[in-house]
Amino acid sequence: MSFSPLIRQLIEALRTLPGVGPKSAQRMALHLLERDRSGGLRLAEALQAAMHGVGYCNRCRSLSETEVCRLCTDPRRDDSLLCILQSPADVWAVEQAGGFNGRYFVLKGNLSPIDGLGPDEIGIPALLAQLEQREVAEVILATNPTVEGEATAHYIASLLKPRGIRVSRIAHGVPLGGELEFIDGGTLAHALAGRTLIS
Amino acid sequence: MSFSPLIRQLIEALRTLPGVGPKSAQRMALHLLERDRSGGLRLAEALQAAMHGVGYCNRCRSLSETEVCRLCTDPRRDDSLLCILQSPADVWAVEQAGGFNGRYFVLKGNLSPIDGLGPDEIGIPALLAQLEQREVAEVILATNPTVEGEATAHYIASLLKPRGIRVSRIAHGVPLGGELEFIDGGTLAHALAGRTLIS
């Protein structure tokens, strides 16, 4: 069936959301129209405010609605630790996990020559410029453990080591709660190679 | 972690959508901010247009942005068949299934005395008024096969039969592609009781 124009446009617009197919979009549109019009209007306002108001932090380059984000201006955080990530989602994930109290720097993705993403495109020059201005004792490379993420981590390490900065990589291994029998061979090999002594 | 205000408000507003939990809302917000700002703005506009512009059809009482909806004004549809449903979503489902070419009337839910929903609340007087004005040969009761849906169907049937209108109920039984072994006993009993002769 063809819906009336406004309903059809709403269903199509809802499908731009990730993970929303035609059936869910229809259910969402109906829910808003039948049961929660004020919620629908609130969502419209929140979308407009965020799409226009959220930019990028000048320092860590994560999403921010101020020139420098809250995490970069927080005086309680440790300036000597810099964690390098490949997307704002990763900053959120690390913050939600807790336990890290340093600063962040967000790359625009990973090195991927095949997609035309070289050091300049992902923001390496800005990273180096920041490291010259700030006193960072250790850089933690937390790009994803994919081929591109590993290549990016190695590339950055090769740039920073000659400058006398300590460079570390997040641990790879068996996730908590994981069962060895269901874990892929690559992860298992990493977990064995990266074993630590029990003191 | 606490997100910056605009991002937090966007995530909270996205959670008003049915089936969207905190993690999906976060993923949606990030997707729009990082990859599809124009999509986000289009969604905001579609929401505003639909929330303000979509009302109810004066005739069938389904969602419509015009006083009388497209289905009610379509001259190719059969005026003598009236299908009674309990929500606009059901109209969409029947239309998408195809095969029905009559008119619709949408109740505001089902009779449910415990929730204070009597005949007046669900729109029975309007249904009777319409049946007096129009020449309807058959009313098809397509409320859900739940306790309330069945009660509503029986109630309407008891009102219409004395007026000489033919009243039918949609068939209940084993869904196409269903496997007997996995179908609940109530459905199976219905399917057996409602068996039809193979001619």
What pLDDT, in 10s, does the model give residues A15-47? 999 999 999 999 999 999 999 999 999 999 999
Which of B18-22, B143-147, B155-159 is predicted with the least confidence, judged by mean pLDDT? B143-147
Residues A78 and A159 in one domain: yes
Using alpha carbons, select from A99, A106, A108, A105 the residue that is nearest to residue A79. Answer: A105
In chain A, % of residues over pLDDT 70: 99
Asked if the Cβ–Cβ distance from B50 to A10 is below 8 Å, we say yes
d(CA B158, CA B167): 9
Residues A89 and A34 in one domain: no
d(CA B103, CA B127): 12
What pLDDT, in 10s, does the model give residues B43-54? 999 999 999 999
Which residues in chain A touch residue B1, judged by CB atoms under 8 angstroms apart?
Answer: 92, 95-96
Establish if A187 touches chain B: CB-CB under 8 angstroms: no
d(CA A95, CA B91): 46
**Minimal C-alpha gap between B39 and chain A (Å):** 6
**Spatial CB neighbours of A137, under 8 Å, sequence gap ≥ 6:** A80, A81, A165, A166
> In which order are the strands placed within the sheet that holds A166-169?
A103-106, A81-85, A138-141, A166-169
**Spatial CB neighbours of A103, under 8 Å, sequence gap ≥ 6:** A59, A60, A71, A72, A77, A78, A79, A81, A82, A83
Q: Print the domain residue range for B141.
A: 79-169
The pLDDT score that the predictor gives to residue B3 is: 83
Q: Which amino acid is at B101?
A: N
Work out the angle at residue A169's Cα, subtended by the Cα atoms of residues A164 and A172, and round it to the nearest 5 degrees: 165
Tell whether B127 is covered by a domain. yes
Residues A77 and A128 in one domain: yes
At A186, the pLDDT band (50, 70, 90 cuts) reads confident
**Minimal C-alpha gap between B96 and chain A (Å):** 5
**What are the helix (H) ranges across B22-178?**
22-35, 37-53, 70-73, 88-97, 119-122, 124-133, 147-160
d(CA A190, CA A169): 13
Tell whether A145 is covered by a domain. yes
Asked if the Cβ–Cβ distance from A30 to B54 is below 8 Å, we say no
**Does the pLDDT of residue A65 top 70, yes or no?**
yes
Tell whether B25 is covered by a domain. no
Kindly report the number of other CB atoms within 10 A of residue B182's CB atom.
Answer: 6
d(CA B106, CA B85): 5
Mean pLDDT, chain B, as a whole number? 91
The pLDDT score that the predictor gives to residue B175 is: 86
Which residues in chain B touch residue A65, judged by CB atoms under 8 angstroms apart?
Answer: 4-7
Residues A76 and A154 in one domain: yes
What pLDDT, in 10s, does the model give residues A4-23? 899 999 999 999 999 999 99
Tell whether A97 is covered by a domain. yes
* For A62, nearest residue in chain B (alpha carbons): B34
Residues A77 and A140 in one domain: yes
**Minimal C-alpha gap between A126 and chain B (Å):** 19
Half-sphere exposure of A150 (CA within 13 A, CB side): 6
The pLDDT score that the predictor gives to residue B56 is: 95
d(CA A46, CA B8): 9
Residues A41 and A106 in one domain: no
d(CA B68, CA B28): 36
The DSSP H or E segment spanning A83 is: strand A81-85
Which residues in chain A touch residue B37, judged by CB atoms under 8 angstroms apart?
Answer: 51
Q: Which amino acid is at A119?
A: P
In this complex, how many residue pairs, one in chain A and one in chain B, have their CB atoms less than 8 Å apart?
180
CATH number of the domain to which A38 belongs: 1.10.8.420
Please provide residue B158's backbone torsions phi and psi, each rounded to the nearest 5 degrees.
-65, -25
What pLDDT, in 10s, does the model give residues B68-110? 999 999 999 999 999 999 999 999 989 988 889 999 999 998 8
Work out the angle at residue A58's Cα, subtended by the Cα atoms of residues A124 and A144, and round it to the nearest 5 degrees: 45
How many structural domains does chain B have?
A: 1
Which residues in chain B touch residue A9, judged by CB atoms under 8 angstroms apart?
Answer: 46, 49-50
CATH number of the domain to which B103 belongs: 3.40.1360.10
Establish if A161 touches chain B: CB-CB under 8 angstroms: no
What pLDDT, in 10s, does the model give residues B106-134? 999 889 989 899 999 999 999 999 999 98
Tell whether B123 is covered by a domain. yes
Mean pLDDT, chain A, as a whole number? 91
**Does the pLDDT of residue A2 top 70, yes or no?**
no
**Spatial CB neighbours of B167, under 8 Å, sequence gap ≥ 6:** B138, B139, B141, B156, B157, B160, B161
Asked if the Cβ–Cβ distance from A63 to B34 is below 8 Å, we say yes
Query: What average pLDDT does the segment B176-190 reach?
Result: 84
d(CA B109, CA B16): 22
Tell whether B47 is covered by a domain. no
Residues A153 and A76 in one domain: yes
**Does the pLDDT of residue A1 top 60, yes or no?**
no
Judging by beta carbons within 10 Å of its beta carbon (0-12, 13-18, 19+), is residue B192 exposed, middle or buried?
exposed
Establish if A89 touches chain B: CB-CB under 8 angstroms: yes
Separate counts of helices (H) and strands (E) for chain B: 9, 6
Residues A47 and A88 in one domain: no
At B1, the pLDDT band (50, 70, 90 cuts) reads low
Residues A18 and A76 in one domain: no
Tell whether B177 is covered by a domain. no
At B169, the pLDDT band (50, 70, 90 cuts) reads very high
Using alpha carbons, select from B156, B36, B182, B52 the residue that is nearest to residue A41. Answer: B52
**Minimal C-alpha gap between A199 and chain B (Å):** 34
**Does the pLDDT of residue A196 top 70, yes or no?**
yes
- For the complex shown, is ipTM > 0.90? no
The pLDDT score that the predictor gives to residue A191 is: 83
d(CA A83, CA A60): 10
The pLDDT score that the predictor gives to residue B2 is: 67
